[in-house]
């Protein structure tokens, strides 16, 4: 997070540039400041802030008297019961607001409250160590929270908020304190962190927007806000300590910008931008469900990237034509426990049946060693270590269970398998042999021929680009993960604020790699798709089409806008654009050329 002067993401809003940040105001108004976070749910909110602070308990460490031990265990069990009643109430509210899909999030939390290992461990420690219940609960949950928070994968760091909510809920109910859910109508809520339960309950007060210090774009709260059409910005560092209740705030959930104490000129600018975005979305939504074609009639297909099956309910309405990337590692519900084959099968077949006959590409578990509770090593740099296909090959029981679950769920023949972190043909051959073995075994068991899922390779490492011609002759399709490809090519950790400005998707090396990969796939009649963030960037869209890309997998909410843009281009002009960009030798020159093209269309 940083105080910065923000530029608008488009040249619109009556052609007027966004007002510059003012250090002071002659009217005596508080200083106007801009903060850069991560846009987690699109939209603009303008209003007053409400600082949502959760109460925390601070109790002196003390040893229980012998006669109080059983009473303390009873208090703990009663707290679990009260917590369950709260979550069931929240589950009912969620079902009314969003349907059954998202209410399952709270069923998962209720299951944790019934976990016999958790209950027995905490009860036994209260008895043997004579510690108060709140201390033991804190210590036990913190063991798991530490695994989540120190994970190299953002998706697991975000799960920490869900677990933290359960811990805080139990401790609050241990002290019989009421749930804080009432807030004024129509405010912008600021908090250090929010749980799915917080968002659901607070949204009843017609909240205009949410901003949090923690969180990410794949968190449960982000997905809920998208479904509720509430703008949200996350990853704001310590902004919740700087804002106060009643402070004027502007929140831009598209760009990730938050502005405190905005002047009237800025408010007017964002009001116009908000109205323009509304008009554009309404226009795009009218054609979202229609096939996307260029001005010259070439078909472009848009799929969705998803993290949870609950997102499928919005797939068709947004214009999605299938799922191009399902991140299956989300099934690691506690961050370490490998999901059973039966659990995976149930999840996959539910998804496949929901969208059939549309395709469903399931990426095999893209996990690092830090996800496995029995990992033999603590790696200094998991991003360059034991992760993705490397773990799956070294731990065949994990790969076998997932492959069997996918094959069994492929009853409609619409599931394909995507292999993460490919750097060699040997890895592809290994997975293919595992698939062949399980196809043969299951065909024998079920006494019928089983449909064979297609095999795809993630292209996200420079080594894969170097052997792309061989790869595209041995798989059915490829999916380009531009986030990791950029990170590994430029040697820049995209989550490291020190070098974040060097993470540039329009670097000449990146766009030349993309062209090479797409051209090779087309030459070898291998389906090519992009699933990284670059695929959602309107600036990159004509360049990628010009390179020969015809399939995109993006966040579902981005599809209507991208579809509407496609109709403005001809293939000839996008090919000319791509050719020009490939001759340019700087990021700035490439972006300038793409911006000129965008302005002309």
User: How far is residue 92 from each of residues 47, 95, 106, 221, 313, measured CA to CA in Å?
Assistant: 29, 5, 10, 17, 18
Which of 136, 153, 174 represents a domain boundary (last residue)?
174
Do 242 and 380 sit in the same domain of this protein?
Answer: no
Do 257 and 369 sit in the same domain of this protein?
Answer: no
User: How far is residue 324 from each of residues 60, 281, 362, 481, 482, measured CA to CA in Å?
Assistant: 53, 23, 8, 12, 14
Asked if the structure places residue 28 within a domain, the reply is: no
Q: Report DSSP letters for 450-462, one per residue.
A: PPPPEEEEEE-SH
Asked if the structure places residue 19 within a domain, the reply is: no
Angle separating helix axes 69-98 and 133-149, nearest 10 degrees: 50
Do 322 and 243 sit in the same domain of this protein?
Answer: no
Do 451 and 524 sit in the same domain of this protein?
Answer: yes
Asked if the structure places residue 27 within a domain, the reply is: no
Phi-psi region of 413 (alpha: psi -120 to 50; beta: other; left: phi over 0): left
Annotated binding-site residue numbers:
327, 363, 460, 483-484, 494
Do 185 and 170 sit in the same domain of this protein?
Answer: no
pLDDT at 497: 55
Determine how many CB atoms are found less than 10 A away from the CB of residue 332. 19
- Residue among 357, 326, 321, 355 at smallest CA distance from 562: 321
Asked if the structure places residue 61 within a domain, the reply is: no
Do 225 and 117 sit in the same domain of this protein?
Answer: no
CATH of the domain at 454: 3.20.20.60
User: How far is residue 257 from each of residues 23, 38, 50, 405, 600, measured CA to CA in Å?
Assistant: 17, 8, 18, 42, 27
Do 357 and 448 sit in the same domain of this protein?
Answer: yes
Query: Each residue of 112-122: pLDDT tens digit?
Result: 888 888 899 99
Do 239 and 387 sit in the same domain of this protein?
Answer: no
Confidence of residue 156 (pLDDT cuts 50, 70, 90): low
Q: Which residues span the domain enclosing 71?
A: 66-174
- Residue among 362, 310, 311 at smallest CA distance from 339: 362
Query: Each residue of 530-585: pLDDT tens digit?
Result: 998 899 999 999 999 999 999 999 988 889 989 999 999 999 999 999 999 999 99
Specify whether the CB–CB gap between 75 and 83 falls below 8 A. no
Q: Report DSSP letters for 395-451, one per residue.
A: -HHHHHHHHHHHHHH-TTS-EEEEESS---HHHHHHHHHHHHHHHHHHHHHHTSPPP
Do 47 and 70 sit in the same domain of this protein?
Answer: no
pLDDT tops 50 at residue 9: no
d(CA 423, CA 471): 9
Confidence of residue 176 (pLDDT cuts 50, 70, 90): confident
Angle separating helix axes 100-113 and 69-98, nearest 10 degrees: 170
Determine how many CB atoms are found less than 10 A away from the CB of residue 189. 26
pLDDT tops 80 at residue 27: no
Annotated binding-site residue numbers for phosphoenolpyruvate:
327, 363, 483-484, 494
Which of 174, 191, 224 represents a domain boundary (last residue)?
174
pLDDT at 462: 96
Specify whether the CB–CB gap between 229 and 217 falls below 8 A. no
Highest-pLDDT range among 47-61, 279-293, 461-475: 461-475
E strand segments, 428-587: 454-459, 477-480, 527-530, 551-555
pLDDT tops 90 at residue 463: yes
Burial 472-507 (b: 16+ CB within 10 A, else e): beebbbbbbbbbbbbbbbbebebeeeeeeeebbbbb
d(CA 571, CA 548): 9
CATH of the domain at 37: 3.50.30.10
Query: Each residue of 342-396: pLDDT tens digit?
Result: 999 999 999 999 999 999 999 999 876 544 544 555 555 566 677 789 989 998 9
Asked if the structure places residue 397 within a domain, the reply is: yes
Lateral strand order in the sheet of 33-36 = 33-36, 257-260, 248-252, 44-51, 188-191, 209-212, 232-234, 38-41
Q: Tokens 């209260």 appear where? A: 126
Query: What are the residue numbers of the active site?
Result: 220, 531
Specify whether the CB–CB gap between 382 and 326 falls below 8 A. no
Q: Dihedral sign for Cα 275, 279, 282, 287, please.
A: negative
Asked if the structure places residue 283 within a domain, the reply is: no
pLDDT tops 90 at residue 411: yes
Asked if the structure places residue 573 within a domain, the reply is: yes
Do 314 and 437 sit in the same domain of this protein?
Answer: yes
Asked if the structure places residue 9 within a domain, the reply is: no
φ/ψ of 115, rounded to 5, equals -60, 115
Which of 174, 190, 212 represents a domain boundary (last residue)?
174
Annotated binding-site residue numbers for Mg(2+):
460, 484
Do 210 and 329 sit in the same domain of this protein?
Answer: no
pLDDT tops 60 at residue 227: yes
Do 45 and 71 sit in the same domain of this protein?
Answer: no
Determine how many CB atoms are found less than 10 A away from the CB of residue 523. 12
CATH of the domain at 72: 1.10.274.10
Q: Tokens 């390779």 appear where? A: 457
Q: Which two tokens stand for residue 381?
A: 């740099």
Q: Which two tokens stand for residue 378?
A: 């603590």
Q: What is the pTM of this model?
A: 0.71
Counted domains in the chain: 3
Half-sphere exposure of 122 (CA within 13 A, CB side): 29
d(CA 252, CA 254): 5
Work out the percent of the chain whose per-residue pLDDT is above 70.
85
């Amino acid at each position: 997070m940083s105080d910065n002067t923000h530029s608008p993401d488009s040249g619109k809003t009556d052609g007027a540039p966004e007002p510059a940040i003012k250090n002071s105001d002659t009217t005596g108004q508080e200083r106007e400041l801009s903060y850069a976070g991560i846009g987690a749910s699109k939209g603009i909110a303008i209003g007053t802030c409400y600082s949502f602070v959760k109460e925390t308990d601070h109790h002196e460490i003390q040893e229980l008297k012998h006669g109080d031990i059983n009473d303390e265990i009873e208090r703990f069990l009663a707290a679990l019961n009260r917590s369950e009643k709260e979550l069931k109430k929240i589950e009912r509210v969620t079902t009314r607001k969003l349907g059954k899909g998202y209410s399952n999030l709270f069923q998962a939390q209720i299951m944790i409250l019934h976990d016999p290992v958790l209950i027995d461990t905490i009860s036994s420690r209260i008895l043997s160590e004579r510690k108060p219940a709140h201390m033991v609960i804190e210590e036990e949950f913190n063991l798991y929270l530490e695994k989540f928070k120190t994970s190299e994968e953002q998706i697991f760091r975000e799960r920490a908020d869900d677990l933290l909510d359960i811990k805080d809920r139990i401790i609050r109910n241990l002290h019989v304190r009421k749930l804080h859910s009432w807030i004024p109508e129509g405010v912008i809520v600021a908090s250090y962190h929010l749980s799915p339960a917080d968002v659901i309950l607070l949204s009843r007060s017609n909240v205009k927007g949410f901003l949090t210090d923690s969180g990410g774009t794949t968190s449960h709260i982000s997905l809920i806000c998208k479904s509720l059409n509430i703008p949200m910005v996350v990853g704001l560092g310590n902004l919740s300590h700087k804002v106060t209740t009643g402070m004027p705030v502007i929140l831009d959930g598209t760009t990730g910008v938050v502005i405190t104490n905005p002047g009237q000129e800025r408010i007017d600018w964002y009001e116009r931008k908000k109205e323009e975005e509304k008009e554009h979305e309404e226009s795009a939504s009218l054609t979202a469900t229609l096939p996307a074609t260029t001005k010259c009639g070439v078909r472009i297909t848009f799929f969705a990237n998803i993290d949870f099956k609950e997102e499928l309910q919005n797939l068709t309405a947004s214009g999605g034509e299938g799922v191009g990337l399902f991140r299956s590692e989300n099934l690691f519900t506690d961050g370490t426990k490998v999901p059973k084959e039966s659990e995976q099968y149930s999840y996959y077949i539910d998804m496949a049946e929901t969208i059939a006959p549309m395709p469903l590409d399931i990426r095999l578990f893209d996990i690092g060693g830090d996800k496995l509770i029995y990992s033999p090593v603590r790696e200094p740099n998991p991003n360059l270590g034991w992760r993705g296909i490397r773990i799956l090959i070294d731990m065949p029981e994990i790969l076998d269970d997932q492959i069997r679950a996918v094959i069994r769920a492929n009853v409609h023949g619409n599931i394909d398998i995507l292999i993460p972190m490919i750097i060699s043909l040997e890895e592809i051959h290994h997975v293919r042999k595992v698939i062949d073995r399980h196809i043969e075994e299951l065909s024998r068991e079920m006494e019928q021929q089983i449909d064979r899922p297609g095999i795809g390779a993630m292209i996200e490492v420079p080594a894969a680009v170097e052997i792309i011609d061989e790869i595209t002759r041995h798989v059915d399709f490829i999916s380009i993960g531009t986030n990791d490809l950029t990170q590994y090519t430029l040697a820049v950790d995209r989550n490291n604020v020190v070098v974040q400005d060097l993470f540039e998707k329009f670097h000449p090396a990146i766009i030349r790699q993309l062209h090479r990969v797409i051209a090779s796939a087309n030459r070898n009649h291998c389906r090519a798709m992009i699933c990284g963030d670059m695929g959602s960037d309107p600036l990159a869209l004509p360049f990628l089409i010009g390179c020969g890309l015809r399939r995109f997998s993006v966040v579902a909410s981005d599809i209507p806008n991208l579809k509407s843009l496609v109709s403005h281009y001809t293939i000839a002009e996008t090919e000319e654009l791509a050719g020009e960009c490939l001759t340019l030798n700087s990021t700035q020159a490439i972006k300038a050329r793409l911006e000129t093209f965008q302005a002309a269309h």
